[in-house]
Structure 1
């Protein structure tokens, strides 16, 4: 969990004027009590009205609220539509995270903005190919991209040729019903894209150090030079 997310959760747990111990917060957030002491001290220094002390517990005075998130109507519509699309076509963890984020946003935006969110008429249906296995595969690939985990893919190409591909996973792309993985293929010594639905198995094979020439940014730069991706300036 990112520290910013942890600080937000601490504020949520302290709402309602209840006394909560550092040990209880540490257990809920799966960190040490020392980390909780430091986080609470930083929240108090930033103006959050938390009272208490280490070894006793903490309580937050009634009436405190987080600063409102300022989204335009179009931004709210985009967030809602995006969450619905990801719920239909994303991995299990992706979809769950999108739903949770939407709930949190809905709690802090003004009533007029909440009405706009509820009025969004963009829906995603018919994701018949998104089996539990496919969703779990997307989650594993997403985690591998973030953790820089080298993978050996059991892959079957369009001509039904089966190969084992040692790769560095870099990014996932959604093309409308089809997901692809952008990776540095160590077998071909070049960038390659793999259809996720043709990956039959994946085996972790250690981690890799980031290299500028073998990164997603380097791939985008090359594709822009070739005119395959428009330059957004």
Structure 2
């Protein structure tokens, strides 16, 4: 990555997550903390109003505005492909947002072909109406911290009913999964959304705790093998 691109990435990270520490920036950018200090100096010298507070992190002056975003041809192609994949696989609300964003990108990038059908790189996957409906329900449950009762068929054909606290939705290997705290098993479980037969909102209250959180779930997943049997049984 060119230095100018890294500096732009750094400004954008500070703008979105401010205040943010040098350690966190180094983790997100993939460089050393010492490099972050050098980049912050470069930004300050170039006129970007970034300031740091000891023990708090870096932030930008409230009046600072990012310059108009300029995308390269390959960046536009990548964004177009990503939005097309999302439009074909997500729930109706996210699909609609992806198509709207795609039209905005096409309008703001004159070097990009105006007809996505002419692109040689395409995303042709499509979710079923049932899966789209489940994705919408799960996304709202995650946002509003609702406990759900699902009827689920495991990979070996066993049907079970579970009470889950959904934590996040993940798309990998062409399938959506919902990462959850399974109240029934008292453990993290991943459920393939296309194998969920029914979803009901439960009256059981959400069990708020540090254990039932996205960051904790992600740490748990990072220590587990992808071939582990955590895909629910």
Please classify the TM superposition score into its range, dividing by the shorter chain length. Answer: 0.5 to 0.7
Distance 2:181 2:121 in 1: 35
Structure 2 partner of 1:146:
143
| Shift of residue 73, structure 1, vs aligned partner | 3.0
Structure 2 partner of 1:121:
120
| Shift of residue 72, structure 1, vs aligned partner | 3.2
Matches within 5 A, 1:54-203: 68-107=68-107, 109-112=108-111, 114-115=112-113, 120-125=119-124, 127=126, 130-203=127-200
Distance 2:88 2:172 in 1: 14
Structure 2: give runs of 5+ residues left out of the alignment: 1-62, 227-233
Deviation digits for residues 51-106 of structure 1 (CA, Å, limit 9, x no counterpart): xxxxxxxxxxxxxxxx6333333332221001111122222222111001222333
Q: TM-score, normalised by structure 1?
A: 0.60
Assess if the C-alpha contact under 8 Å between 1:77 and 1:116 holds in 2: no
Cα separation, partners in 2 of 1:73 and 1:170, compared to 1, 3 Å: same
Matches within 5 A, 1:212-231: 212-226=210-224
- The RMSD of aligned alpha carbons is 3.0
Cα separation, partners in 2 of 1:179 and 1:126, compared to 1, 3 Å: closer
Distance 1:160 1:209 in 2: 29
Highest Rg: 1 or 2? 1
Assess if the C-alpha contact under 8 Å between 2:85 and 2:125 holds in 1: no
| Shift of residue 166, structure 1, vs aligned partner | 0.6
SS in structure 1 of the partner of residue 202 of structure 2:
strand
Residue-pair matches, total: 163
Q: TM-score, normalised by structure 2?
A: 0.60
Instruction: Extract structure 1 runs of 4+ deviating beyond 4 A.
Output: 115-120
Structure 1: give runs of 5+ residues left out of the alignment: 1-45, 47-66, 229-233
